[in-house]
Amino acid sequence: MKRIGVFVCGCGINIAKTVDVKKVVEEIGHYPGVVYATDYQYMCSDPGQKMIQEAIEREHLDGIIVAACSPTLHEFTFRRASEAVGLNPYQCEIANIREQCSWVHQDKEIATAKAIKITKSIIEKERLNDSLSPISVFMTRRALVIGGGIAGIQAALDIADSGYEVILVEKEPSIGGHMAQLSETFPTLDCSQCILTPKMVEISHHPKIKLLAYSEVVNVGGYVGNFNVKILKKPRYVKEDLCNNCGECFKVCPVVVPNEFERGLGSRYAIYIPFPQAVPSICTIDADACLGLFPLACNKCKEVCEPNAVDYDMKPEIIEETVGAIVVATGYDLLPSEELKEYGNGRNPDIIDGLHFERLLSASGPTQGVIRRPSDGKVPKEVVFVQCAGSRDPEKHLPYCSKFCCMYTAKHALLYKHRVPDGQPYIFYIDVRTAGKGYEEFYHRVSEQEGVVYLRGKVSKIFQDGDGLMVWGVDTLTGKKVEITADMVVLATGAVPAEGSKKLFANLKLACDENGFLSEAHPKLRPVESLTPGFFLAGAAQGPRDIPETVAQAGGAASKVIGMFSQEMLLHDPIVAVVDENLCSGCKICISACPYDAREFDEEKNIVRVNELLCEGCGACVAACPSGATQQQNITDDQIREMVKVVLGE
Amino acid sequence: MAKLKVALYWAASCGGCEISILDIGAKILDFVAGAEIVFWPCAMDFKYHHVEAMPDGSIDLTLFNGAIRTSENEYMAKLFRRKSKVLVAYGSCAYEGGIPGLANVTDREGIFKRVYDTTPSTKNPKGIRPQTKTKVPEGELRLPEFYDTVKTLAQTVDVDYFVPGCPPTGERTWEVLEAILGNNLPEKGSVVGAGQKTVCDECPRTKNEKKIKAFVRPHLVIPDPDVCLLEQGIFCAGFATRDGCGAQCIQVNMPCRGCYGPPPKVIDQGAKIVSALGSIIDAEEPEEINRILDQIPNPIGYFYRFGLPYSILRRRVIK
């Protein structure tokens, strides 16, 4: 029988306050197989670890249990300490008597009894633990960045500048994302394009970056260090290497459609580039708008194209790449105004959202920076800004705060006032949130010195009233109903995950929160990593955030990738599923249960095998395996059964 | 060499196991050449007192089939344990509780009420129920006591070996008898006359990755004879059932009902079935999942058809 040592931590008073640590030691000391048990105030401290190491050597322990905090915190600490004195780290187990016991109980007697049960159950687990070694994995030192907004651009540049190759995939014809649509950025009022375009140009010329714009990731197979990525390159119908963006084709194209980049406020031709600084600087034919690629009804653009770049026969192409790490930077979209019934259902042209207003403010926008309302081009004299349009509204819309709207609305009002000095901006708000460097000062400037009227309250209804818009709201500070006849309304609609991200995340098997944003591995300590190894998160795909935060996080994700690439080998946790060949009958039930495609069928032996590099030890196959042939290393059915028996007092 | 003394007994069972001994065919002659049958209620006229009169440990082998449902079953189990050197739980009922074990979803009163009151063909205005003792002019009549809970043989007495099957197949039975006759006995407590894998291993059908969108009962379709029945939406318990039967049912287009019990590493066959089915039902929305699951008309009857008393569940809680 294994010689087991148990070390009970008081964690100051975190555990000792509700668990009688001495009693746990006394009781566990008599448990079968336990040859040594002791307690200490802080096991994780240097003296605490030393105490464990000395006991392992002195008592010739084959396994140890540290009854302390959650294994997510100090399992590594104690396993490393065990390994240093020659005990296999997988013979060290943590009994969580803090988060799962002392912190959630008040009654000391009950909590102590529970701590004893938890510790006994972990002793039963440890008794059947095997000694394991991490699995070494070769890795491809090339990164994939999905999304070419500011987050993806920054992450790609940081990784590439460290000397590693990057493949940057963007679904739109140009990189730049939403930041390229913004006029000026808060709180410094830098021109957004002026600070973004140098980075875009850098991407296009960087020797280590391969840019695949107008492309989408359709499938990711493989595992951390060795992902096999399939990328769909959509046909532009224009040869990238030949087009010189001379613009001759625009002059002859007979089809004019709304320009998505201008959020429909401006127009473009069926052959187009979304905006002048687009990267790559190549025309694209919009297959839906073009008079007819299939069958070809018009070939005016091809006739005038001097470099002969137009190719109506271009087909979608699948590009396969192997990468070691993937940064997901798919960004956000604004909640469609169509979902806000109380605010006109998105049907009234003069009720616009924040990005529309950015385009109206932009010097390169559809109005060259003159603020005109979309319906009749009139310069609006009364503009109502509605904050939290759809945000912080758990009953009807989004439960969360979209974080950047308070600041951009303040900026909108300020810029409006500068362009239309005799105009009157009103801002309806619930709270004004300005946590950020220089943000509060900016808000004060807008609210106190620029003649912007802030009204604390919600807008209940907006509807057409003659030439203008009637805005019904309430000022909760005075308790009065407010009615404003406005020329235009700007809704600060909440941010939602970018269109198509739900499907992509499901395809990549990435965990999301209840709002569809990507989940991080730990909300505080691992904020830029996904729970799926090899995936890193940047920007608003993880939750609404502004530019400085996005850039910082993208740099963080990049440095995680660089850190990974700078290791000699990747080490994979050996807590994986294994198949007993003598028990497996090849029913294949486990194959579809595996979320990591880690199970493959061996035709010859009629059994299923586990690719241990792909296996993340989630246990789904163990539950699915109807013959019990699949077991998880060190969390076998036998172990779980013994643990349950102890807990139930059998 | 003296002949081995062999007894057969049926407790709560259908009798099929008793007859299944004859499935060994002409080998029965080899069997009786080496064995003297001292008790076999289905085939030979011995009485209980004959067994009671035998010295303890004088029977070399008892093949005991049927579950323990009454005081008589229990008495005989204990009697044969005492009289036998080797006691074998023969067939699903003795091993796992079997079909009679499904009675554990109710209790004695529930069963009596159904049988003596509410069945459409019953007319019992006086509410007569079986009594363990009844006085009649000639004296006292006795009936065994009917228990609330059906138990397996091993939950009643110490058992040496287990032979699964409803009934065990002739080939497997002969293997067991041969091993016993040749004194070639495996480790005590072993399941004998069966394999180590699942019925899928013996099933000749093509198996693919499984995604189930609908269940259908076998009498409503004519299944493709070459493709896994489960993939065709027919609930087949073969994936969670020990092999050894030769996948006989499946070969005639009927799904496995699970009579060979759980595979070696599984304790609760029904729980494993639930867990495996849960992994392959191809639906996202809870409503759709419920709709698919509702197509299984009697989950406990399907998943625990032969093993409710043996399972972790054992029975419905009696309040």
User: What is the mean pLDDT of the segment spanning A112-122?
Assistant: 97
Name the least confident of A336-340, A389-393, A565-569, B178-182.
B178-182
Pure H helices in A366-512: 405-419, 439-444, 501-508
pLDDT at B62: 96
Distance CA A374, CA A356 (A): 10
Whether residues B42 and B95 fall in one domain = yes
The two structure tokens encoding residue A78: 């104690």
Cβ <8 Å between A585 and B201:
yes
CB contact under 8 A, A580 and B210: no
Is residue B314 in some structural domain?
no
In this predicted model, what pLDDT tens digit does every residue of A308-333 receive, in sequence order?
Answer: 999 999 999 999 999 999 999 999 99
Q: Are residues B78 and B157 in the same domain?
A: yes
Q: In the structure, what pLDDT confidence band is assigned to residue B296 with cuts at 50, 70 and 90? A: very high
B298 and B203 in a single domain? The answer is: yes
User: For strand A325-328 and strand A535-537, is the pairing parallel, antiparallel, or unpaired?
Assistant: parallel
In a domain, B313, yes or no: no
Q: Which residues of A touch B (CB under 8 A)?
A: 580, 582-593, 606, 620, 623-629, 631, 637, 641
Q: Are residues B211 and B251 in the same domain?
A: yes
Closest CA to B22 of B13, B31, B10, B14: B31
In the predicted structure, residue A473 carries a pLDDT above the cut 90 = yes
- pLDDT (tens digit, 9 = 90+) per residue, A130-172? 999 999 988 999 999 999 999 999 999 999 999 999 999 999 9
Alpha-carbon distance of A348 to A148, in angstroms, equals: 32
Contact A624 B197 (CB under 8 A): no
What Cα–Cα distance (Å) separates residue B129 from each residue in B78, B124, B145?
27, 9, 12
Please write the tens of the pLDDT for every residue from A44-63: 999 999 999 999 999 999 99
Report if residue B308 sits inside a domain.
no
Q: Is the pLDDT of residue A298 over 80?
A: yes
Give residue B94's pLDDT. Answer: 98
**What's the confidence (pLDDT) of residue A531?**
87
CB-CB under 8 Å, B197 with A583: yes
Q: Nearest-CA distance from A607 to chain B in Å?
A: 9
Please state, in angstroms and rounded to a whole number, the distance separating the CA atoms of residues A602 and A192: 56
**Burial (Cβ within 10 Å: 0-12, 13-18, ≥19) of residue B147:** middle
> Is B284 domain-assigned?
yes
User: Which residue matches tokens 């905006």?
Assistant: A275
Give the residue from chain B lying closest to A619, CA to CA: B279
Question: Do B58 and B16 reside in the same domain of the chain?
Answer: yes
Predicted local confidence at residue B270, as pLDDT: 96
Contact A417, A450 (CB under 8 A): yes
What pLDDT score was predicted for residue A346? Answer: 84
Q: Can you tell me the mean pLDDT for B175-204?
A: 91
Residues B156 and B208 grouped into a single domain: no
Sign of the four-CA dihedral A103, A105, A106, A111: negative
Q: Going by DSSP bridges, is the β-strand pair A382-389/A351-353 parallel, antiparallel, or unpaired?
A: unpaired
Which of B207, B211, B227, B274 would best serve as a mutation to test chain A binding (most A beta carbons within 10 A)? B207
Handedness of CA A148, A154, A155, A159 (dihedral sign): positive
Give the count of domains, chain B.
3
Say what the pLDDT of residue B2 is.
79
- Tokens for B202? 């013996």
A chain contacts of residue B197, beta-carbon cutoff 8 Å: 582-585, 627
Question: What is the per-residue pLDDT for B318?
Answer: 83
Quickly count: other Cβ atoms within 10 Å of residue A606's Cβ: 16
Query: What ipTM was reported for this prediction?
Result: 0.90
Whether the predicted pLDDT of A427 surpasses 90: yes
Cα→Cα distances B258→B98, B167, B315, Å: 10, 12, 18
Number of H helices and number of E strands within chain B? 12, 9
In chain A, the residue whose alpha carbon lies closest to the alpha carbon of B271 is A626
What domain range includes position B203? 199-303
Considering chain A, what is the average pLDDT of its residues?
95
Q: Is B7 a residue whose pLDDT tops 70?
A: yes
* pLDDT at A294 > cutoff 80: no
CA distance A510 to A535: 8
Mean pLDDT of B33-48: 92
Is the domain of B172 the same as that of B211?
A: no
Residues B240 and B155 in one domain: no
Query: Which residues in chain A touch residue B239, judged by CB atoms under 8 angstroms apart?
Result: 585, 587, 589, 626-627
Q: Give the pLDDT confidence score for residue A296 in this predicted structure.
A: 72
B25 within some domain: yes
**pLDDT tens digit sequence for A10-19:** 999 999 999 9
CB contact under 8 A, A626 and B276: yes
Q: Which residues of A touch B207 (CB under 8 A)?
A: 586-588
| B130 and B255 in a common domain | no
* pLDDT value of position A223: 86
Average pLDDT over residues B218-233: 94
The interaxial angle of helices A547-565 and A150-161, nearest 10 deg, is 30
pLDDT value of position A293: 79
pLDDT score recorded for residue A4: 97
Instruction: Tell me the pLDDT tens digit for each residue of A187-205.
Output: 999 999 999 999 999 999 9
Residues, chain B, total?
Answer: 319
Instruction: Check pLDDT > 70 for residue A650.
Output: no
Q: Are residues B130 and B155 in the same domain?
A: no
Preferred mutation among A587, A630, A642 to probe B, highest tally of B CBs within 10 A: A587
Q: Is the pLDDT of residue A517 over 80?
A: yes
Position B184 confidence tier, pLDDT thresholds 50, 70, 90: confident
Tens-place pLDDT, residues B118-173: 999 999 999 999 999 999 999 999 999 999 999 999 999 999 999 999 999 999 99
Lowest mean pLDDT among A112-121, B24-33, B230-239: B24-33
| Spatial distance between the Cα atoms of B102 and B199, rounded to a whole number of angstroms | 22
Q: How far apart are CA B285 and CA B21, in angstroms?
A: 50
Mean pLDDT of A230-256: 94
More confident residue, A596 or B304: B304
Same-domain check for residues B223 and B172: no
Residue B49 and residue A324: Cα distance in Å, rounded? 79
Q: Is residue B193 part of a domain?
A: no
| B207, B238, B279 member nearest A624 (Cβ) | B279
Residue A341 has pLDDT above 80, yes or no: yes
Percent of chain A predicted with pLDDT > 70: 99
Spatial distance between the Cα atoms of A118 and A121, rounded to a whole number of angstroms: 5
| B272:A628 CB<8 A | yes
Residue B232 lies inside a defined structural domain of this protein: yes
Identity at A316, one-letter amino acid code: P
Sequence-ordered strand ranges (E) for A234-348: 256-258, 267-269, 271-272, 284-285, 317-323, 325-328, 332-334
Sequence-separated (6 or more) residues with CB below 8 Å from residue A52: A5, A7, A43, A64, A66, A78, A81, A82
Averaged pLDDT for residues B35-41: 93
Domains along chain A with CATH numbers: 4-132 (3.40.50), 142-231+318-330+515-565 (3.50.50.60), 248-304 (no CATH), 333-496 (3.50.50.60), 573-633 (3.30.70.20)
Around B209, how many Cα atoms within 13 Å sit in the side-chain half-sphere? 11
The answer to whether the beta carbons of residues A307 and A293 sit under 8 Å apart is no
The pLDDT, as a whole number, for residue A616 is: 86
- B238: chain A residues, CB-CB within 8 Å: 587
Distance CA(A609)–CA(A607), nearest Å, equals: 7
The answer, yes or no, to whether residue B66 has pLDDT greater than 90, is yes
The answer to whether residue A345 scores a pLDDT higher than 80 is: yes
Residues B143 and B288 in one domain: no
Domain annotation covers residue B190: no
- Six-digit token string for B187: 């480790």
**pLDDT over 80 (residue B1):** no
- Mark yes or no for CB contact A584/B209 under 8 Å: no
